[in-house]
Structures are given as C-alpha cells and as structure tokens.
Structure 1
C-alpha cells in the first residue's frame, strides 16, 4: 500500500507538468519513481500510464490535433527507432546521451532565435525520425517533436494536444517490446493502475493552469523544460566519464 501511495505521489507531480505543457511526464516521473522501484520498472509504469491516459486524450482532444503532423511524426518515429537501437548497440549509452544533449541544445538555440521551419512533409518526417532515434537510444522521443511544433509556431493549444497524443503513440510502439521482454508483470501493471487516478487529477490541475497561460508564456515554459531535459541528459552522460 505504501509503495502504491509513493508511486501515485510521484505520478501526480509529473502529471501536473504534463497537463501544463503537454510533455515532461516521463522526464519527471521516472526519476522520482526510481527512488522506490528499479529504473526499468519506473519506465514500464510510465509507458503503461501514457498508454492508458492517451486513449482518453485521443477522444477529448481530437478537434485540437494537427493530424497531418502527427501522422508524419509517427511514421518517422517507426523508421527511426530501429536506427536508434542499432546505434545503441555500437556506442555507449553515456556517450550517446552527450550527443543527444548537444543535438537538443542546437535545437534550443534555433528556437530561441525563432527560426521557423519550412512547411511541408520533410521537417515533420525528419523530426519523427529523430524522435525514434532518441527513443531507441535513450527512451526520450520528446525533444525533436517538441522542437518541431515550437519551430512551426503552432498555437499552444494545438502543440499541447498533439504532443500528448504523440507520446501516447510512441508509448504504444514501445509496449510490444516490453511485453516480449517480459517486463510487464502483474505487480508493475497493478502499480500503474493504482496511480492512474493521480495521473488524471494531476493532468486536470495542470490543464487548468495551462488555460490561464498566454502563447508567449507557454513557449517560454516549453523551452525552459526542453533546456532542462538537455542539461539533465548531458550531465548524466558526462558524469560517467568523470
């Protein structure tokens, strides 16, 4: 019972961030849950929760989604994930974390400079491939997709909704691998189910805060969280070489 309560508390805090920006759930939830369960189990719980809540998001946010971009990003992610896994078998995970941090950093510079992406399928497919690559390398599909939507200067409500559903889709892509690897045992599934109400409540509270945000405030918050992702990833990789 105590373990379930601690997991739910970690999920709730991360869900508020998710409701506010549309991303950052796994970034916040996995390290917090890793204090009481193994990192591998924490990742599994986060993936199961994103699959569960994503079903609701697709229904409730369907009118807000950039469906064309989502489709292209998902196709790119399917192509990029095997490449990321292949690269991970050839290079150390820590070295790749440093590379990923540098790539995200370059994207941040472009966002801060307000470099806008050209219209067309190319940027969306490219961002999708990078998302899959990041997912295969470090279970981090988010940064390229976030940078893509911010780089298109899409409305905040569209960006937030589309990112939520994109992470649902990437979680669905990861689910068969977890099942084949026998990672989804009964205890893990029950912990995820027990934390689901906390995820819904936290997302709702974050959503209420999002409703009070302006476009500029949302962009600033999203870029700040993306920068935090780059710094945390880079430090984790560099620490292994010190």
Structure 2
C-alpha cells in the first residue's frame, strides 16, 4: 500500500512517533495536539495537506474522551468562543491558502509567548470574563486555526483564569472539536480535503487511541497546581517552537 502525501517509510515512522506524543499531550491537557504535530511535520514535509488530517484526528480523540469530560464542560464559554471564531474563520482560511502560514504563526507565537511569560510570573485574572471577552478571544483563535494553532490563544487566556483543571481540560476539548467542525468544510472548499485525508486518519487511528488513553490516565493522577504548571510550560514551549519555525521559514 502506498503511503499518503508522498511520504516515505522513514517520514511516516517519524510522524507516527510525533502523533503518539501529541495525542498523549492532548489526552492529558486537552490542547496542544495540532500545534505539536504540525510543528514537527514541518521539519520533514509540507504540513499544509496534513492540517485536515490533524483536525479529523482531534475530532476522533473527542469521541475517546467524551465520557470522562461530559460533566465538566463550561458550555457558555464554548459557545461564546465558537461564535467569535466563526466570524473570522472564512477570512482565516483564505489568508492561509493565499499568503502562507509563516506570518500567522509568527504573530500568534509572539502573543502566546508573552502570555506564557506573564503566567509564569504567577499572574491570573481575578474577575470573571463575560461573553464579549470570550468572543474576542474566539476571533483571535479563529484567525489562527487555519494554521493549526487555534487552541493556543484560548488555552493561554483560560490558564490565566481561576478554573478547575477538569473544567479547563473539558472545555478546551469541546471547543477545539467545534472549531474543527467549522473549519473542515472551509478547508474542503479550498481543496485541502482529499481521499488521502481519509487514509491518513485511518492510519493514525490506533496511535490516537493509545496516546489519548495514556494521557487521560496521567491527568487523573495530576494535582491542580501540577496541571497548571504543565499547561503554562507547554504554551511556552509551543510558542518558542512556532517562533523558530516562522523565523527559519520552515
């Protein structure tokens, strides 16, 4: 059987390892899967055709996690974030297809890096953020999602708020699923969703299930302070990786 996207066996094996690692992080934290995998994929191949595969994988992982997160989702946040994202996603997909992802990734990485450094100082938002604020963050997220990093601004924003770890994780998972559901038809209209997308998802399925399951088990054993520290350090690492990619032009 020929591999999709003209991948060689070595490339496919490396992407499989990255996929498993990213799925583990998603199972633990609720975000980071697409940013980790796409950043790694860019080192060895053109990542743009892989973005629909990544989004499909994220939706599949939500099926694996649905039972454990059902009672912890903050639906008001989810709907407000999605409303903001939906407004800008058509422009976002057009921009990524027309202009490339480097400029988008550089801008988002700088924002997330700044937020991560502030969060490392121990700063948090002490007051409740209402729907308009979440819609604004959703718009930023929608602008970023066509490059596969729409979850990072939302994760940085929510990490700064007083939230229980289970609520943070569940809300991120459901929001990212909704975001991908909105984005996928736009990617299909842009010609990025093909039969190779379905083949890539089928090949990824076993690694996804194992990675998410192991990550979820690790989350159950984590304390709230450990989870927040992991989330902030993950945001910091992903922002630095995004900056490196954008500056190196990879």
1:203 equivalent to 2:212? Answer yes
Change beyond 3 A, Cα 1:179–1:88:
closer
Aligned with 1:129 (options 128, 136, 139)? 139
Deviations 1:139-183 (A, max 9, x none): 311122102221212111111111111111111111102222332
Which position in structure 2 is the counterpart of 1:184?
193
Q: Do the aligned partners of 2:138 and 2:154 also contact (CA within 8 Å) in 1?
A: yes
2-side partners of 1:49 and 1:87: how far apart?
23
Change beyond 3 A, Cα 1:90–1:71:
same
1:152 equivalent to 2:161? Answer yes
**Structure 2 stretches lacking a partner, 5+ long:** 4-8
Deviations 1:75-110 (A, max 9, x none): 111123245457668977434433222211232233
SS at match of 1:152: coil
SS at match of 1:182: coil
How do 1:27-46 residues align onto structure 2 when only pairs under 5 Å count?
27-33=35-41, 38-46=46-54
Give the aligned CA root-mean-square deviation in angstroms. 2.8
Q: Do the aligned partners of 1:11 and 1:198 also contact (CA within 8 Å) in 2?
A: yes
**Structure 1 stretches lacking a partner, 5+ long:** none
Q: Do the aligned partners of 1:117 and 1:148 also contact (CA within 8 Å) in 2?
A: no
Which position in structure 2 is the counterpart of 1:231?
240
Change beyond 3 A, Cα 1:117–1:102:
farther
Which position in structure 2 is the counterpart of 1:99?
107
Which position in structure 1 is the counterpart of 2:33?
25
Q: Which moved more, 1:183-192 or 1:54-63?
A: 54-63
Using the TM superposition, give the Cα deviation of residue 63 of structure 1 relative to its aligned residue in structure 2, in angstroms.
Answer: 0.9
Task: Count how many residue pairs are aligned between Structure 1 and Structure 2.
Answer: 240
2-side partners of 1:52 and 1:167: how far apart?
11
Q: Which moved more, 1:61-70 or 1:90-99?
A: 90-99
TM-score, length-normalised on structure 2? 0.83
Which position in structure 1 is the counterpart of 2:174?
165
Change beyond 3 A, Cα 1:117–1:129:
farther
Which position in structure 2 is the counterpart of 1:53?
61
Which position in structure 1 is the counterpart of 2:6?
none
Q: Which moved more, 1:98-107 or 1:62-71?
A: 98-107
TM-score, length-normalised on structure 1? 0.86
Q: Which moved more, 1:118-127 or 1:84-93?
A: 84-93
2-side partners of 1:187 and 1:84: how far apart?
23
